[in-house]
């Protein structure tokens, strides 16, 4: 049975990812930090994981490897946003957003890569954001970090392709999750109207795609946008 490590597993998308992989027959390690993981399924291995601390990440990965032998897939879902215009943005908030969304992702990738390269097989899915492409006002820190996720992932895909480790990015779209709970219904309606289908994506839909993606053997270095907003070609 293949095993997947999911970071940020206590969030709205994280919970859907856990359920999606369980339904597909995977064994799941659910990493959580601030929001307590609610999953009580005995098939889920709960892992207290702060992606901003390298020693904690490495310890968690080592524990999984000791138990499972291999980690076949990593889904970097841990993320956060602190929205503020740049003149008012606290530099510490910039650092925090970057540390969780970008550097934390890198720490997790670096921890699992030796094992994946040794077995010459592995999948890494990094959860990005449309903000990386659109650069919304007030989200300079978040947009910059998520743009970094795309660049990092494509560089890593080039580095690891010869070892059969596939690295891809998924842009879920705006989801109704705790991260977007601060948005008003009018704001959410505006996001929906920006989609040609006139509706938002759902965590369950994203999870189904991620599970499908990690079953593919010939795809790496790609960015998949999962809502129906149409962007410029260049």
Return the bridge partners of 166, or none: 123
Residue with tokens 């999750």, as numbered in its chain: 177
Alpha-carbon distance of 170 to 220, in angstroms, equals 12
φ/ψ of residue 64, rounded to 5: -65, -45
142 is catalytic: yes
Q: Which of these is catalytic: 130, 142, 152, 191?
A: 142
Q: CA-CA distance, 125 to 141, in Å (whole number)?
A: 21
Please name the helix (run of DSSP H) or strand (run of DSSP E) that holds residue 225, with its range, or none.
Answer: strand 223-225
Report the C-alpha gap between 149 and 134 in whole angstroms: 14
3-state secondary structure of 76: strand
Q: Tell me if 226 sits within 8 A of 201, measured CB to CB.
A: yes
Structure tokens at 30: 């659910």
Structure tokens at 39: 């999953």
- Residue 57 Cα distances to 7, 72, 110, 111, 199, angstroms: 10, 16, 10, 7, 37
Q: What is the dihedral of CA 190, 191, 193, 195, to 10 degrees?
A: 170
Which of the residues are catalytic?
142
């Amino acid at each position: 049975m293949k095993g997947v490590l999911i970071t940020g597993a206590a969030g709205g998308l994280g919970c859907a990812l856990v359920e999606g992989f369980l339904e597909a027959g995977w064994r799941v390690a659910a990493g959580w930090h601030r929001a307590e993981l609610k999953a009580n399924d005995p098939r889920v291995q709960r892992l207290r994981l702060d992606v901003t601390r390298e020693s904690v990440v490495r310890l968690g990965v080592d524990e999984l490897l000791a138990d499972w032998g291999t980690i076949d897939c990593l889904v970097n879902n841990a993320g956060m946003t602190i929205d503020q215009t740049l003149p008012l943005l606290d530099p510490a908030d910039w650092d925090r957003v970057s540390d969780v969304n970008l550097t934390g992702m890198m720490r997790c990738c670096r921890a699992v890569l030796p094992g994946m390269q040794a077995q010459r097989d592995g999948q890494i899915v990094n959860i990005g954001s449309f903000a990386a492409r659109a650069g919304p006002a007030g989200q300079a820190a978040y947009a910059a970090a998520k743009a970094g996720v795309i660049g990092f992932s494509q560089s890593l895909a080039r580095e690891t392709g010869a070892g059969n480790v596939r690295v891809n990015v998924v842009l879920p779209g705006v989801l109704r999750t705790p991260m977007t709970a601060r948005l008003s219904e009018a704001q959410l309606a505006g996001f929906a109207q920006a989609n040609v289908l006139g509706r938002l994506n759902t965590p369950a839909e994203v999870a189904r795609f991620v599970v499908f993606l990690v079953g593919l053997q010939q795809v790496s270095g790609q960015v998949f946008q999962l809502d129906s907003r149409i962007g410029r070609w260049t």
